Chain A
Amino acid sequence: MNEAPLLAFENVHKYFGETHVLKGIDLGVDEGELVVVIGPSGSGKSTLLRCANRLEEIQEGEIRLAGTPLTASDADVNRLRQRIGMVFQSFNLFPHKTAAGNVTLAPRKVRGIADEKAEERAETLLERVGLSDQRDSYPAELSGGQQQRVAIARALAMDPDVMLFDEVTSALDPELVGEVLGVMRDLAAEGMTMMVVTHEMGFAREVADRIVLMADGEIVETGEPERFFTDPETERAEQFLSKLL
């Protein structure tokens, strides 16, 4: 028997006003799995990710983290969010804090971890994303790629069970994309559970355990990357893939 997925979406419906943007999504992300969600813009993939962190509320269905329903009205959102790391397209680093300050803020304020301990941990995390020499730099002094790597370190500082990546390379200059994907590749290799919304098909094909194609608020097709990219089952997937070339 299969174990329950770490992050489970069950019949998730989401409306923006009249617009039905998620139309009954069922999806499970297993522990240690890397799921890449692709699809044309407006397909709802970013919204799906944001719902998993309750940055957006859903109108129907349920999302569970390790069995705990996080969309319940009485869910302890702040506690659950600590277990879900989120990295944004626009980095959203805190501009008034240094790289280290960005990484230590939540552990210190939310977990009450002592400054020294938090600093040490930040040092380790910044080293892990290749930025140990930038700990005292402010975001405005860093390149986009560096900022995004700090953002990843910041999310990791809360020791999340799962990491969500929302088009994290879309705002980057092409030559900076690689360094961010490299960090994500390392994370995947270490067994981090990841849900990644991206347009980087090369990355998806190479590191994903499973590809999920969304279109018009629905999951059109899911599958192993090799099979999905070489031999898509649905016409919609074939159409989408043909437009990429």
Chain B
Amino acid sequence: MSETGTGGPIASDETFRRLGMAAALVVALSVGAFLALLFLSGHVIPGRQLINYGLLAELAQPSSDYYGAYINILQVFLLTAVMSVICGVFVGLGRISKTPLTAGIARLYVEFFRGTPFLFQIMAIYYGVPAFFEPGTFPLTNFTWPAAIVALTLNHAAYSGEALRGGIESLPTGQMEAARSLGMSYVQAMRNVVLPQAWRNAVPAVGNDLIILVKDTSLLSVIAFPELISQFQYTYSQQFEAWAPLVLVGVFYLTITVPLSALVNYAGEVADPSRRAEP
């Protein structure tokens, strides 16, 4: 018997590979069985139709409110994606600042927005901010959209900022030094040398955060933002049907996140600086 290290291996590579395959198969079969049961329940258990296909067809009509909700989350996503990435650049720059005050404030910002639940933040903004005004004097009549946009932007700027900071810190310090030694100012060196490279390093992490951003729009249901989860709750309260609206909502989310995920992977490959190494 050969000794391969302290304690020896838990399993041989081949055993491990087969175990992995078996586990994956078990998962796939379970999910398949669940989906079959769900979609074909009428045939499997007589009289027990889990998905009301008539209702599903109705909810999927072009005139359905679900499309309005879908468009709403698309809009709020696109807007906050751009805003949170732009704000994230400044958060990231603040985090790497050599000025203690700037770095400290950026640090506090990140700690707060990463350290408290998004639900807490959205409530603090939606209910907390108007509380500063005398009753009836709050100037915005529809505060839902502004609160949603501000909350999502503030929260995700913290994550993008950290992603970008990681991207900047993974660059050799020689890049900044070389740029500065040519007479570039800090801002010029950042813009032309450091950020273009840091951005490439940060693409996977920022992309990951954008996918989470799509899903975080569901939390806006607590402030009655007209999005998909609120729409589901409405349908359920009216019809007592769970699965027809659930299927629709799930599909709607996936139509955003699956292409987004593909886009992020593609962007990550294109941006990968090591690809330049291949002549």
What is the interface of chain A, defined by CB distance below 8 A to chain B? Answer: 53, 55, 78-79, 81-82, 84-86, 88, 90, 92-96, 105-106, 109-110, 138-141, 151, 154-155, 158
Asked if B172 and A110 make an inter-chain contact with CB atoms under 8 angstroms apart, the answer reads no
When the two chains form their complex, are residues A79 and B276 in contact, meaning their CB atoms are under 8 A apart? no
How far apart are the CA atoms of A109 and B184 in the complex, in Å?
8
Query: In the complex the two chains form, what is the Cα distance from A86 to B177 in whole Å?
Result: 10
Is A79's CB under 8 angstroms from B174's CB? no
The answer to whether B175 touches A154, judged by C-beta atoms less than 8 angstroms apart, is no
Known contacts A81-B182, A94-B197, A106-B179, then 14 further A-B pairs from the complex at CB < 8 Å, ordered by chain A residue: A81-B183, A82-B183, A92-B177, A96-B197, A96-B200, A96-B276, A105-B182, A105-B192, A109-B184, A109-B188, A110-B182, A139-B276, A151-B178, A155-B182
- The interface residues of chain B, by DSSP majority, are classed as helix
Contacts of A109 in B (CB 8 A): 184, 188, 192
Pairs A–B under 8 Å by Cβ, sample size 27: A55-B180, A78-B184, A78-B185, A81-B180, A82-B182, A82-B183, A86-B178, A86-B181, A88-B177, A92-B174, A94-B175, A94-B193, A95-B273, A96-B196, A96-B273, A96-B276, A105-B193, A109-B184, A109-B188, A110-B182, A110-B183, A110-B184, A141-B279, A151-B178, A155-B182, A158-B182, A158-B183
Chain B nearest CB, measured from A154 CB (Å) = 7
Is the beta-carbon distance between A140 and B277 smaller than 8 angstroms? yes
Number of A-B contacts (CB under 8 A): 71
Q: Nearest B residue to A86 by beta-carbon distance?
A: B181
Q: B residues bordering A, Cβ < 8 Å?
A: 172, 174-175, 177-185, 188, 192-193, 196-197, 200, 273-274, 276-277, 279
Nearest Cβ distance between residue A51 and chain B, in whole angstroms? Answer: 12
B174 / chain A contacts, CB cutoff of 8 Å:
88, 90, 92
Contacts of B200 in A (CB 8 A): 96
CB nearest neighbor in A for B184: A110
C-alpha gap A109/B193 in the complex (Å): 11
Closest to B194 in A: A94
**CA A140 – CA B188 in complex, angstroms?**
23
Min CB gap B191→A, angstroms = 8
**With A95-B197, A96-B197, A110-B188: A90-B172 Cβ-Cβ less than 8 Å:** yes
A89 — nearest CB in chain B belongs to which residue? Answer: B174
User: Cα distance A106–B193 when bound, in Å?
Assistant: 10
Closest to B279 in A: A141
CB-CB under 8 A from B175, the residues of chain A are 92, 94
A81 touches B181 (CB 8 A): yes
Looking across the interface, which residue of chain B has its beta carbon closest to that of A84?
Answer: B181
- Tell me, rounded to whole Å, the shortest Cβ–Cβ distance linking A196 to chain B: 16
Which A residues touch B180, using CB under 8 A? 55, 78, 81
- Distance of A88 Cα from B192 Cα, bound (Å): 19
Asked whether, in the complex, the Cβ of B181 is within 8 Å of the Cβ of A53, the reply is: yes
Nearest residue, chain A, Cβ from B177:
A55
Closest to B197 in A: A96
What is the minimal beta-carbon distance from B276 to any residue of chain A, in angstroms?
5
B178 engages A92 (CB within 8 Å): yes
Q: Do residues B172 and A92 form an inter-chain contact, with CB atoms below 8 A?
A: yes
Q: Which residues of B contact A151 (CB under 8 A)?
A: 178
- Bound CA–CA A78/B184 (angstroms): 6
**Interface contact B183-A106, CB-CB below 8 Å:** yes
Q: Is the CB of B276 within 8 A of A141?
A: yes
Closest CB in chain A relative to B270 CB, distance in Å: 12
Question: CA–CA, A15 to B180, complex, Å?
Answer: 22
Q: Considering residues B181, B188, B193, B276, which has the most beta carbons from chain A within 10 angstroms of its beta carbon?
A: B181
Q: Which residues of B contact A138 (CB under 8 A)?
A: 276
Complex CA distance for A82 and B181, rounded to whole angstroms? 7
